[in-house]
Structure 1
Amino acid sequence: MASIDLPKPDFARNMTLIGHSDIGGRGDGLQLMVHRGHAYVAHPWSQGFSIVDVRDPKNPATVNYVPAPANSWNIHLQTHDDLLLVINALDLFADVETFTDEKAYYTQSVGETVASKKRERAWTAGMSVFDISVPDRPRKIGQLDVEGVGFHRLWYVGGRYAYASALLDGFTDYIFVTIDMADPTRPELVGQWWLPGMNRAAGETPDWGDGKRYALHHALVHGDTAYACWRDGGLTLLDIKDHSAPKLIRHHNWCPPYGGGTHSPLPLPGRDLLVVADEAVLDNEEDGRKHTWIFDIRVPENPISISTFPIPAEIDYAKKGGHFGPHNLHENRPGSFVSETLIFATWQNAGIRAFDISDPYHPVETGALVPAAPTTMTDRRPGRPKVIQSADVFVDANGLIYATDYNAGLEIIEYGG
């Protein structure tokens, strides 16, 4: 019945597409959370976020859309209990003149690019807090405003503190900040940490040269440690016992010789391992072959890379068009599917992948699904190829996989085990 209308995947092994949604005509998805039978999908080009009822995963139904504030985007979000946290930032891709060429976004300090435009501040920067006790009817209850471009990505799994990447006035790009959520109606910024050279307002000078972007993508937190990925700035482990004053445990960067883009961390605390994905950010591997690394972090002050995930190779994905390489990892959030041996990842034009890392020295791919190309393009940047670019992945407690694409909507996938 419903399956007759499903777009036929380009490739599938040990994964089956069981549901699909065009998200009410807003097919561009970035981060998503599945919470109480509803998928909350952040949009990069449609602005705002949508809510899709996925209680019947074979027949997902879009039930709400919440627009972003003027000139702003809401590309990342988090859910926990009755709270939904949504980032607010300047809609960078709306500025066609500045960021039409992807290289301008991925190889320059965004703070300095935006500051050079001397634009009037006409956007919302920071974070909004919604009550989602009624899952399809978010009710805004709080807001944190900052001076600057705004937030990029959040981490919040309950408790007193949330964590974000924030581009604040005076900094070259996004830094690590801690947020006190004791009163969700009045969240407060309490701590900051940045790589040396990023605080222009304090007289610091970048030393990483042209063509690189040192910027926090996001951090995941376990215990008193934040595992933070800084694009071309590599990886930091931060001690956050004092949330007002994070301290560096270790900074480790492998760019060069590798091509940077360090994007997604996944600590596996029961095994003293850390998975780190380097994002492919340019078409046709122009930024080099990107990897997902496994680090041994038994000694946090000395993380050691012990292996990389196998590279999808059913076809020559580097020649397919668009980005080929890692993007996001399923993050083992409380209440979702949690495993320290089975890792789910998006690989952009190579779709969604599952990896068994029971032997961390020899990761093995155990499933894959490459969704069909989008039928319409929501991405407004000129000349973007009409290929799948799987963006984010979330696996629910029952093992169902949910994945977004920049244009092709929401996929719901069964893993064969």
Structure 2
Amino acid sequence: MAQNHLPAPDYARNMKLIGHSDIGGRGDGLQLMVHRGHAYVAHPWSQGFSIIDVRDPAHPKTVNYVQAPANTWNIHLQTHGDLLLVINALDLFADVDTFTDEKAYYTQSVGETVAAKKRERAWTAGMTVFDISVPDRPRKIGQLDVEGVGFHRLWYVGGRYAYASALLDGFSDYIFVTIDMADPTKPELVGRWWLPGMNRAAGEEPDWGEGRRYALHHALVHGNTAYACWRDGGLTLLDITDHAAPKLIKHHNWSPPYGGGTHSPLPLPGRDLLVVADEAVLDNEEDGRKHTWVFDIRVPENPISISTFPIPNEADYASKGGHFGPHNLHENRPDSFQSETLIFATWQNAGIRAFDISDPYYPVETGALVPAGPTVMTDRRPGRPQVIQSADVFVDANGLIYATDYNAGLEIIEYGG
């Protein structure tokens, strides 16, 4: 019965929408985690995060919302065991004079732009640790504060260490940091690594020119290697055997000639492969056609791109409005769906996609769902088009797909493969 009220997708192939939530009227979602039957959704404009009970996926129920500190956003988060880690950073999109024009955010140094305004430090920067032993009642137990804009995205799958992108005072933009979680009530920043030219306080000078942004989006870690994506700065493989002193294995950048935006890494260690998505960051492909690459990393010092994912083509997405191109990948986390051949991705105005890379030289799309456009715009930036912008994707251990959008809420999808 409830399915009659689901917003009809614009397109579906081998995927079926089975549940939808407007997240209690806060339809803006960025990163999401599904953990113990609850979806934790980070908000880019609603300044906090929400918790949705998805134990009945056809009838998701919003059960809590946690407000961010003043002038702060909580756009990324991680769950593991009884812990929820939530980033804190200056709410950049609330700064109407500086970053509401997307080009300003994606094509210049955020650290230097913020520092130039000499603003009073009136936001929370770093990370908050919550106890979620009661899944819908997070209880704050720890805090890591840093001097700077704050954290962007985290990677934590248990164990002693977490990893983050952090914009600290003195740096041009986000760098790689390691965090000791031995005592979750007192997390400690223990190591850092950056691309040469980013440490402005130490007198380093950038050599990448105007209109390009060298900034860590995030890293995924497997074993002693961190696979890190640096937007227009490309990809690094880092040896983190010594968490206090990460070492470079390889820096590889294909921008130019390609348009940068390197965003999401996914190591497939059993196959010596690495999938890397370049984010489309400007409307109507103004930043060029963006790709998701498959790398052969048998020799980590020499990653070789062997293929790219096929581009959605059943509609004219390039002129649909908004961003057309890759954003995030399902990350094979512990206790979630894990595969080294079936990859799930968000493609912004082209929705959610599944790809079979059994033959890594010939990726094949095996499913797609383009959700209906938003009925309400939570994104407050002027002039944003009212189209779907699928942001993040998480696939649970049962194979159900969860996806967020910047405005259109949470989708729950069955894959037919």
TM range (shorter): over 0.9
Q: Deviations over 1:153-200 (max 9, x none)?
A: 000000000000000000000000000000000000000000000000
Find the residue that maps to 2:97 and give its secondary structure. Answer: helix
Give the C-alpha shift of residue 321 in structure 1. 0.1
RMSD across aligned C-alpha pairs, in angstroms?
Answer: 0.2
Pairwise CA distance, 1:268: 0.1
SS of residue in 1 equivalent to 2:75:
coil
Within 2, Cα distance between the matches of 1:128 and 1:93?
A: 21
CA positional deviation for 1:254: 0.2
Note the C-alpha offset of 1:20. 0.1
Give the Cα separation in 1 of the matches to 2:83 and 2:4. Answer: 36
**SS of equivalent to 1:302:** coil
Tell me the distance in 2 between the aligned counterparts of 1:19 and 1:69.
31
Distance in structure 2 (CA, Å) of the matches to 1:13 and 1:253: 34
Alignment partners' CA distance in 2, 1:154 and 1:2 = 36
Distance 1:77 1:96 in 2: 25
- Compute the displacement of 1:124 (Å): 0.1
Q: After TM superposition, give the deviation of residue 214 of structure 1 in Å.
A: 0.0
**1:234-256 deviation per Cα after TM superposition (whole angstroms, max 9, x unaligned):** 00000000000000000000000
CA distance in structure 2 between the partners assigned to 1:80 and 1:381 by the alignment: 33
User: How far, CA to CA, are the matches of 1:60 and 1:2 in structure 2?
Assistant: 11
Cα displacement string for residues 94-138 of structure 1 (whole angstroms, at most 9, x for unaligned residues): 001101210000000000000011000000000000000000000
- TM-aligned CA deviation for residue 313 of structure 1: 0.2
**Which residue pairs with 1:173 in the alignment?**
173
| CA distance in structure 2 between the aligned counterparts of 1:48 and 1:19, rounded to whole angstroms | 23
- Counterpart of 1:41 in structure 2 is 41
Structure 2: how far apart are the matches of 1:175 and 1:99?
Answer: 20
Q: How does 1:289-300 map to 2 (within 5 A)?
A: 289-300=289-300
Taking the aligned partners of 1:371 and 1:334, their CA distance within structure 2 comes to: 27
d(CA) in 1 for partners of 2:149, 2:67: 18
1:230: how far off?
A: 0.0
TM-score (norm 1): 1.00
1:116 and 1:97 map into 2 onto residues whose CA distance is 13
Partner of 2:183: 183
Instruction: Name 1:160's counterpart in structure 2.
Output: 160
Is the counterpart of residue 395 in structure 1 residue 390 in structure 2?
A: no
- Structure 2 residue aligned with 1:333: 333
Q: Secondary structure at the match of 1:276?
A: strand
Displacement, 1:350?
0.0
Q: 1:399 Cα deviation (Å)?
A: 0.1
Determine the C-alpha separation between the residues in 2 that align with 1:46 and 1:79. 20
SS in 2 for 1:98: coil
- Unpaired runs of 5+ residues, structure 1, are none
Give, in whole Å, the separation in 1 of the partners of 2:97 and 2:415: 42
Report the CA distance between 1:231 and its aligned residue: 0.1
Separation (CA, whole Å) in 2 of partners of 1:78 and 1:2: 30
Alpha-carbon distance in 2 for matches of 1:20, 1:181: 35
Partner residue in 1 for 2:128: 128
Distance in 1 between residues matched to 2:372 and 2:185, nearest whole Å:
42
Percent identity at matched positions? Answer: 91
Within-5 A mapping of 1:213-232: 213-232=213-232
Give the superposition deviation at 1:389: 0.1
How far is 1:64 from its partner? 0.1
The CA deviation string for residues 358-390 of structure 1, in whole angstroms up to 9 with x for no partner, is 000000000000000000000000000000000
1:269 shift after superposition: 0.0
For 2:101 and 2:163, how far apart are their aligned partners in 1? Answer: 30
CA distance in 2 between counterparts of 1:129 and 1:150 reads 15
Q: Deviations over 1:290-310 (max 9, x none)?
A: 000000000000000000000
Runs ≥4 residues deviating over 3 A: none
Matched, 1:10 2:10: yes
2: CA distance, partners of 1:358 / 1:199:
41
* Counterparts of 1:387 and 1:45, CA distance in 2: 17
* Structure 1 counterpart SS, 2:98: helix
Query: Which 5+ residue runs of structure 2 have no aligned equivalent?
Result: none
Q: Secondary structure at the match of 1:103?
A: helix
Give the Cα separation in 2 of the matches to 1:325 and 1:195.
Answer: 26
TM-score w.r.t. length of structure 2: 1.00
**Cα drift, residue 210 of structure 1:** 0.2
1:57 aligned counterpart, secondary structure: coil
Q: Distance in 2 between matches of 1:224 and 1:271?
A: 17
Q: Tell me, what secondary structure is at the counterpart of 2:8?
A: coil
Which residue is equivalent to 2:105?
A: 105
CA distance in 1 between counterparts of 2:340 and 2:165 reads: 25
Distance in 1 (alpha carbons) for counterparts of 2:230 and 2:96: 25
Distance 1:140 1:113 in 2: 32
Aligned to 2:79: 79
DSSP-derived class of the 2:381 partner: coil
Q: Once the 2 structures are TM-superposed, how far is the Cα of residue 62 of structure 1 from its aligned partner?
A: 0.0
Matches of 1:52 and 1:333 in 2, distance apart? 20
1:193-250 CA-partner distances (Å, limit 9, x unpaired): 0000000000000000000000000000000000000000000000000000000000
